Amino acid sequence: MTDETEQHDNPNAGKFDKVVALCHNRGFMFRSAEIYGGFRSTYDYGPVGVLLLRNVKEAWWRAMVQLRHDVVGLDASILGPPQVWEASGHLQNFTDPLVDCTECRERHRLDKLEQPDTCPSCGATGTLTEARQFNLMFKTHAGPVEDSAAVAYLRPETAQGMFINFMNVQRATRKKPPFGIAQVGKSFRNEITPGNFVFRTREFEQMEMEYFVPPGEGPKWYDYWCNERMQWYLDHGLPPKQLRLRPHDADELSHYSAGTSDVEFQFPWGWDELEGIANRTDYDLSQHAEHSGERLEYFDQATNERYVPHVIEPAAGATRTAMAFLISAYDEEELEKETRTVLRLHHRIAPYKVAVLPLSRKDTLTPTAHEVLALVADRWMSDYDETQSIGKRYRRQDELGTPFCVTIDFDTLEDRAVTVRHRDSMAQDRVSIDRLNDYLAERLR
Ligand code: GAP
C-alpha cells in the first residue's frame, strides 16, 4: 500500500492539529516552561491531562496486576549505577546513528531519513556529516563530587529494575514461574528527533511487565501476551480497524530476541508503535548474573531443578497510549445549528466520570447541587461547573469526554430528582437522587 492510499484510508488523518489545540485549550497538556518559550519537547499534564494519564496507568495496572494472581508490582529507582547499564547492554548499544547538516546545522537520525544524503530540514544534498553513534541515556552525577565514581544514569526503560530485583521479589513473594513483575514509571531518552506532540519525548512514562517462565514455555507465553495486550487496547475503546499487531522481520530483531511484535495504532501520520511485546529469552537474567556474580535462577523444589527463567516482556508507553486514546476518541458531530466536538473516551479513561451542573447560579439550587456533588465525588472523579449557559457547559464537558452530566434544576427542589445527560447519545434520564449512585455505577463499571 502506498503512503497516500494509507492516508486516504486513515480515519485519524487531519485530526492532529485539532487534538493538539484541544489538549492545550482544555488543560490536557501544556508545553513545559511555556512562559520561557518551551523546553525541548517536554510537556506538562494539566488538570484533565493528569487524570487521563492516571486512568491509562490505572487501567493497565488493573488488568496486569490487580486482576491477576501471577503478577506483582514494583517501583524501582530512576537513578542507577553504570554497572546496570553495562550489563544490560545499554552503555554500548543504546545508540542512534546521528548526522549533522553542515548547511542548516540541524541534527537527524540517519535511519529515519527518507533519502540518506538529503537534509529533511533545509533540503540540501551532500551536506550531511558521517554518522556517529549517539548514546540516548541521560548521564548525571550522584553525590557532590563530579568524578567518574559518582556517575549515574536516568533509566531509559523501567525493565531493568525488574531484572535486578528478580531474586528479591521471588524470595519475598514465593512466586513460581510463570509469574510476572510489573512497573509503571518515568523513563528518559535523549531522543535526537523527538516529535509528534507527546508521541516521542525525552521524558515519558512506561508500563512494563517482565513475565518469567520455564525455558521451554517462551513461545507459548509470547503468543498469550500478544493476544492479551491487543485485547486490552480494544477493551478500552481503540477501534479494531485502527489497531494491528505487527511481527518484526528477522532483520529487525535484537540479537537476544526470539520474537517481537509491535502493537501499532493508526496515528494521523500513519501506523506507529504503542507497545512492543518481546520474547527476551534468558538474556537479561544471564547478563546480570554474569556481571554481578549473583545467581539469578529459580530452584524448583518439586523437581529439584535449577534454571534461568526466560522472559516475555509487554512494554507499553503510557503517554503515547494516552495520545492514541485522545485521537481515536476525538469526534466532530454535525448538529442542526452547530458542530459538536466530543471526546468519546471509554469511561475508565475519561478524566471526569461525572459533571454536576446546577441549572442556574441561584442560591436556592446551590445546597442541593453541593449535596449531589458530595454524593458522586465520593465514588468518582467529578467536576462542578455553574458558570455560563447549560448548553455551553454540556459542550465543555463533551470536549473533556465526561460520560455523564447531572443537572440540578428547580424541579429537583420539589421531587429530589436530577437529569442525567449521556455524552454520546445526548439522551437524558430523570433519576432520583437516592438512586443516582446506583444508576451511575451500573454504567461506569
Ligand atoms: N524494555 C523494552 C523497551 O523499553 P521500547 O520499545 O524501547 O522497549 C517501550 O519502549 C514503549 O515505551 C514503546 O512502545 C513506547 O510506547 C514507549 N516509548 C519509548 N520511547 C518513547 C519516547 N521517547 N516517548 C514516548 N514513549 C516512548
Question: C-alpha grid cell for residue 233?
Answer: 487496547
Q: Does the CB atom of residue 275 touch ligand 1 within 6 A?
A: yes
Helix (H) or strand (E) holding 393: helix 390-400
Q: What's the gap in Å between 146 CA and the centre of ligand 1?
A: 30
Under the banding of pLDDT at 50, 70 and 90, the label for residue 145 is confident
How much is the mean pLDDT over the chain? 95
User: 148 — phi, psi (to 5°)?
Assistant: -65, -20
Provide mean pLDDT across the span 27-33. Answer: 96
Q: Does the CB atom of residue 284 touch ligand 1 within 6 A?
A: no
**What is the tens place of the pLDDT at every residue in 40-85?**
889 999 999 999 999 999 999 999 999 999 999 999 999 999 999 9
Q: Does the CB atom of residue 156 touch ligand 1 within 6 A?
A: no
pLDDT of residue 402: 98
Alpha carbons within 13 angstroms on the beta-carbon side of residue 115 total 11
The yes-or-no verdict on residue 420 having pLDDT over 90 is yes
Integer Cα distance of 376 and 354 in angstroms: 8
Integer Cα distance of 438 and 57 in angstroms: 26
Integer Cα distance of 393 and 260 in angstroms: 46
Secondary structure of residue 208 in the 3-state scheme: strand
Nearest CA to 229 out of 198, 249, 215, 208 is that of 208
pTM for the complete prediction? 0.95
User: Contact at 8 Å (CB) between 354 and 376?
Assistant: yes
Strand order in the sheet with 139-141: 79-80, 151-154, 139-141
Q: What's the gap in Å between 104 CA and the centre of ligand 1?
A: 29
The yes-or-no verdict on residue 1 having pLDDT over 70 is no
Residue 288 CA from chain centroid, whole number: 28
The yes-or-no verdict on residue 33 having pLDDT over 50 is yes
Ligand 1: residue whose CA is nearest its atom 19:
317
Q: What's the gap in Å between 119 CA and the centre of ligand 1?
A: 26
Nearest CA to 437 out of 418, 410, 411 is that of 418
pLDDT of residue 3: 57
Secondary structure of residue 9 in the 3-state scheme: coil
Q: Does the CB atom of residue 128 touch ligand 1 within 6 A?
A: no
Provide mean pLDDT across the span 295-311. Answer: 96
% of the chain at pLDDT higher than 70 = 99
**What is the tens place of the pLDDT at every residue in 93-130?**
999 899 999 999 988 989 888 898 999 999 999 999 99
Integer Cα distance of 403 and 433 in angstroms: 18
Q: What's the gap in Å between 329 CA and the centre of ligand 1?
A: 22
Q: What's the gap in Å between 443 CA and the centre of ligand 1?
A: 33
Integer Cα distance of 63 and 283 in angstroms: 27
Q: Does the CB atom of residue 41 touch ligand 1 within 6 A?
A: no
Which conformational region is residue 65 in: left (phi greater than 0), alpha (psi within -120 to 50 degrees), or beta?
A: alpha
**The residue to which cell 545467581 is assigned:** 295
**What is the tens place of the pLDDT at every residue in 175-216?**
999 999 999 999 999 998 888 999 999 999 999 999 999 999
DSSP state of 303: T
pLDDT of residue 92: 93
Decide which of 9 and 139 is more confident: 139
Under the banding of pLDDT at 50, 70 and 90, the label for residue 148 is confident
Q: What's the gap in Å between 196 CA and the centre of ligand 1?
A: 14
Residue 267 makes CB contacts below 8 A (sequence gap 6+) with: 12, 196, 199, 324, 327
Question: C-alpha grid cell for residue 62?
Answer: 488493573
Nearest CA to 179 out of 210, 216, 219 is that of 210
**The residue to which cell 501476551 is assigned:** 225
Question: For residue 101, what are the β-bridge partners?
Answer: 128
Residue 401 makes CB contacts below 8 A (sequence gap 6+) with: 329, 342, 343, 344, 345, 349, 350, 351, 352, 423
Q: Does the CB atom of residue 317 touch ligand 1 within 6 A?
A: yes
**What is the tens place of the pLDDT at every residue in 241-281?**
999 999 999 888 888 889 999 999 999 999 999 999 999 99
Q: Does the CB atom of residue 277 touch ligand 1 within 6 A?
A: no
Ligand 1: residue whose CA is nearest its atom 21:
200
pLDDT of residue 5: 65
Q: Does the CB atom of residue 369 touch ligand 1 within 6 A?
A: no
Q: What's the gap in Å between 204 CA and the centre of ligand 1?
A: 8
pLDDT of residue 358: 97
% of the chain at pLDDT higher than 90 = 88
Helix (H) or strand (E) holding 184: strand 179-188
pLDDT of residue 2: 46
Provide mean pLDDT across the span 319-324. Answer: 97
Nearest CA to 161 out of 91, 213, 84 is that of 84
Neighbours of 135 (CB within 10 A): 18
Distance between the two ends of the chain, CA-based, in angstroms?
40
- Annotate 222-235 with DSSP letters as a single string: HHHHHHHHHHHHHH
Integer Cα distance of 387 and 395 in angstroms: 13
